[in-house]
A and B are shown apart, each in its own frame.
Chain A
């Protein structure tokens, strides 16, 4: 087991405690015990633990930790006490919530969600933090308000009945009013005070106070009374949200920001390229550090979500576990076991090159391991994808049936980018996948500008990394554009980047696969030919020879040529061997003939010698006989040598 850093709680511990929480009846108590342990730890640990709990998919635990952390923050005298809004993401970017016991100004144009922010602040306060609230509506009646937020699952009538909420509709009709002298807004104070006291409210929303300026003519009195109202709210100790319409060149139309100096939030609703995005910015927050960026937020059936919540810090774990890409040859190119778990993988390439097929292999491998895969298909419907993959013998149907693979198909232009991101967040939370495939990410550009799309991808990649989910993304390179560049410019976010490219040669196109980068592992620098076969994706070595890199039929032709040349060579050698052996045989025959001739001649010579000796004997004998007969004196003398006949 790898050592756990000091500022992180071990995953095993979280898991076991969460399991205990889930199973035991005393769920809450267990969690609070853990929360207590965590909060007793070092400062950093406390800050990290909620994030980690979320990362490790224990939403209940996360909430518990957040509540405890917020309570602790409140208790510590050093920091500014904060009031947890309960709005998804807002507490994270404000560092715990709105300033407690002080008014906060929320300004923005028409329809940007000011009223909803106020309502959600009260509803979450009532349902999650047992803090009742008062809503003073200047623009809508209580009935209209209840109706408007019912679609978000907020039941105002029920809360009113439980005395957790009071709604007061303040109506000022200028045509009915005659101003007859000096006046003040004491009536509003009395109504507000009465509403607060009747339910013991801790939270107040005034929506929107500026309506008073259109109802009453004496601006000098109103300004003085506004100042008095904010002071009065502070004295009451309620956390208040005051909404105001955005003015021309100023935050609010009537300069309310002069009076509310503690915290100002600015909401904005912009339409770019026919797709709208809502954004939230903390203009000021006295006495607290805060993010100054514009954060996109969205309003959906769950209320307001401010995004991102995970991109603030780069603190994700790095796992050393490796998972297969689904293509054994590719795994081998990556040094054997495949990608790192929790890393981000980008497959880029031109149209029709096999990006989706490669991604499907990864999905298939994931399901084979018994894990879950979430597939976002932005170009093909589920049925089409399944059919097309069957053509390369990749049957994903059973995985879909077993619910280990979920395919989510839709056009990217159906929502704005933030909605997509939130949608992906939600799907991931619900399905808890181990691998997420987004095919392709290029299409997000059509739902926003390139810079927005790239910022969204960054947050998506960060989010998936934090949750230790492997991300397989595909991106389309348009013909003509540089290949080693993604449309979204996100290559620096990516851990492993596979490039599929066309290799055009001899009047045909073939596919080649490169690994452009793969962080933290030895990987092949070779080009492999990428084949879509009846048995799925296969990688083969390309032909490398004196004629260069050859692929496809050129590779086959070259291979055939080489084989033919080899055969020819073999035949030549065989023939030469035969010739040699024949010559050898003939020479040996000649040698034999010569030897036999030598033999004959030698035998002849020996015969001659023998004859000669015989003859000499005979001659000796006859000479002897002659001398005897002549009674020669020369008896006993050797006879004169005779020439021997040959």
Chain B
């Protein structure tokens, strides 16, 4: 499956739509990992690449290492690692695992073509 960059990166710039459609929202994403395990780095690389490709210019990706900030796990209800949390746009979604299943992520982020 491919993402649809045309829909978000039209001629009028990232935040405008030539046909008067509402501007797409920014994606607020948080990726929780634990240390620099192979699984963590894999997940970070993959999600970075995916965002650059499909959500270029309109995403905020924060990577949180819970070994460094253990207190952050509780408010975010993180149990499984790695976890990607889509804070915005709603609805909130959680993606768990090392982000190998790109199709599921694109569907979940609602950016599949």
A interface residues (Cβ-Cβ under 8 A, vs B): 168, 170-172, 176-188, 190-191, 193-194, 212, 215-216
Check A183/B100 contact, CB under 8 A, given A178-B94, A178-B108, A190-B66: no
Report which of A171, A172, A187, A194 forms a contact with B71, defined as CB distance below 8 A. Answer: A194
A89 CB to closest chain B CB, in angstroms?
A: 35
- Contact at A190–B73, with CB atoms within 8 Å? yes
A212-B84 Cα distance, complex, nearest whole Å? 18
The reply to whether A186 and B94 form a contact with Cβ atoms under 8 Å apart is: no
CB proximity of B87 to chain A, nearest CB, Å: 12
Across the interface, name the chain B residue whose C-beta is closest to A216. B80
- Supposing A177-B94, A178-B96 touch, asked if A183 and B77 sit within 8 A by C-beta, the answer is no
Bound together, the chains give a CA A76 to CA B85 distance in angstroms of 50
Chain A residues whose CB sits within 8 angstroms of the CB of B99 once the complex forms: 180-181
Contact (Cβ within 8 A) A190 B100:
no
Closest to B33 in A: A186
**Interface band, chain B:** 20 to 34
The residues of B that contact A176 with a CB separation of less than 8 Å are 91-94
B104 within 8 A of partner (CB): yes
Is there contact, CB below 8 Å, between B71 and A179?
no
B interface residues, Cβ below 8 angstroms from A: 32, 34, 39, 43, 66-67, 70-71, 73-74, 77-84, 91-102, 104-105, 107-108
10 closest cross-chain pairs (CB), A and B: A181-B97, A181-B100, A194-B70, A180-B97, A181-B98, A180-B101, A187-B78, A186-B81, A186-B34, A183-B97
CB-nearest residue of chain A to B82: A183
- Docked-complex contact A191 and B96, CB < 8 angstroms: no
- A177 touching B96 in the complex, CB below 8 Å, given contacts A187-B79, A187-B80, A216-B80: yes
Decide if B93 touches A187 in the complex (CB within 8 Å). no
- Residues of B contacting A177 in the complex (Cβ-Cβ under 8 angstroms): 93-96
Query: Is the Cβ of B98 less than 8 Å from the Cβ of A183?
Result: yes
Q: How far is the CB of A407 from chain B (nearest CB, A)?
A: 55
> Could you say which residues of chain A place their CB within 8 Å of the CB of B100?
180-182
Distance, CA A321 to CA B105, complexed state (A): 84
Residues of A within 8 A of B91 (CB): 176
Q: Given the complex of chains A and B, what is the CA–CA distance between A411 and B84 in angstroms?
A: 61
Q: How far is the CB of B92 from chain A (nearest CB, A)?
A: 6
B96 touches A170 (CB 8 A): no
Q: Which residue of chain B has its CB nearest to the CB of A176? A: B94
Which one of A172, A178, A186, A215 contacts B93 once the chains associate, using CB atoms below 8 Å? A178
> Which residues of chain A come closer than 8 Å to B102, judged between CB atoms?
180
